[in-house]
Amino acid sequence: MGVKSKIVIGNWKMNGSAELVESFTRTMLDNQAAYAGIRVVLCPPFTLLQAMADALEGGPILLGAQNVSEFEQGAHTGEISAPMLASMGTKMVIIGHSERRASRGENDRIIAAKVKQALSVGMVPVLCVGETAEEKARGDSGAVVWQQLSVVLHAIGSELFGQLIVAYEPIWAIGSGSTASTDDILTITTAIHAKLAQLGIQLPLLYGGSVNAGNAAQISSLPTISGLLVGGASLQAGQFLLLCSNTAKGA
C-alpha cells in the first residue's frame, strides 16, 4: 500500500535564518549516506527559498515550499505564485496545513485552487488533512478526513488527484508532543487507501504530528505510510538527520 521510497518532509514554518540554512544543509549534505534510499524535502519560509535552493543544488535533498497562491498572477499583493516557486526549483508545496486552515481562513475551495496551481507547473502538492480533538472524541476522524479529501478530489478529478501526496496530520497531534497511536494511524490511513483504491487512485500517504527521531522509524514503517511530515523536529540539524536516518533504517 505504501509507495516505494519513503519521504521525509521538513516544514520549518515561520522559523529559520540564512545562518540556519547554511549550517543545516551542511550537516545534511555531509551525512548523505545516513539517509540514502529515502527522499528528503526541506520547506523553509519563502524568504529563505533561494538560499536553500543554492545550498541544496546538485545534492539529493529536494526544495519545498509551505504555501502557494491560488492565483496564477496579477493584483494579489503579498502572494507568491506557483510559477514563481517553480522557477526557483521548488518541487513540492504544502497545501491546506491546519495552521493555514485555522488562522488564514483557507477553505476547501481555496485549497483546491492552490492544488490546481501547483500541479499546473509540475510541483507536487502535499495536501494536509486531519481532524480536531473534538472530532476525534466524537468518532468522526475518518469522515472528516474523507470530506477534506473529497472536496479536492471532486474539484480536480481522480487522474490529477493521483499525482498528490497526502499528509494525515491530526490537528491535536501537531506541535503537542503526542502522536496519534499506531492503531489510529493505521485505521485512518487504511480507510483512505481503500476509498481511493475504489477510484483507481494510489498515492503516498504521510503522517505528521509530533514526529521526532525517537518515533520516526516505528511510524514510517507502518504498511500504509510512505513517510513523514515533520515540523518542530526539522529545525535542529542533528535531530533531523537522526530522524531521517532512523526512517531510512526502518524503510
Measured from the CB atom, is 72 or 173 closer to ligand PEP? 173
Q: Is 37 in the site for ligand PEP (CB under 6 A)?
A: no
Residue 63's SS3 state is: strand
Residues 6+ apart with CB under 8 A from 30: none
Closest residue to ligand PEP: CB criterion? 231
Q: Is 67 in the site for ligand PEP (CB under 6 A)?
A: no
Measured from the CB atom, is 95 or 229 closer to ligand PEP? 229
Measured from the CB atom, is 56 or 129 closer to ligand PEP? 129
Measured from the CB atom, is 101 or 193 closer to ligand PEP? 101
E-state strands within the chain: 7-11, 39-43, 62-65, 92-95, 124-129, 165-168, 205-208, 227-230
For 114, the grid coordinates are 492552490
Segment near ligand PEP (CB under 6 A), from 18-26, 63-71, 149-157, 204-212?
204-212
Q: Is 148 in the site for ligand PEP (CB under 6 A)?
A: no
Q: Which of 2, 6, 7, 11 binds ligand PEP (CB under 6 A)?
A: 11
C-alpha separations of 110 from 45, 83, 132, 152, 169 in Å: 20, 17, 20, 10, 19
For 42, the grid coordinates are 526541506
Q: Is 185 in the site for ligand PEP (CB under 6 A)?
A: no
Q: Is 125 in the site for ligand PEP (CB under 6 A)?
A: no
Q: Is 97 a catalytic residue?
A: yes
Q: Would you give the binding string for ligand PEP spanning residues 209-248, x where CB under 6 A is met?
A: xxx-----------------xxxxx---------------
Measured from the CB atom, is 70 or 169 closer to ligand PEP? 169
Q: Is 57 a catalytic residue?
A: no
Number of residues in contact with ligand PEP under rule CB under 6 A: 13
Rounded Cα distance, 173 and 180, in Å: 6
> What DSSP line would sit under 80-105, residue for residue?
--HHHHHHTT--EEEES-HHHHHHS-
Q: How many CB atoms lie within 10 A of CB 214?
A: 12
Which residue, 54, 10, 29, is CA-closest to 206?
Answer: 10
Binding site residues, ligand PEP, CB under 6 A? 11, 169, 174-175, 208-211, 229-233
Which residue numbers are catalytic? 97, 169
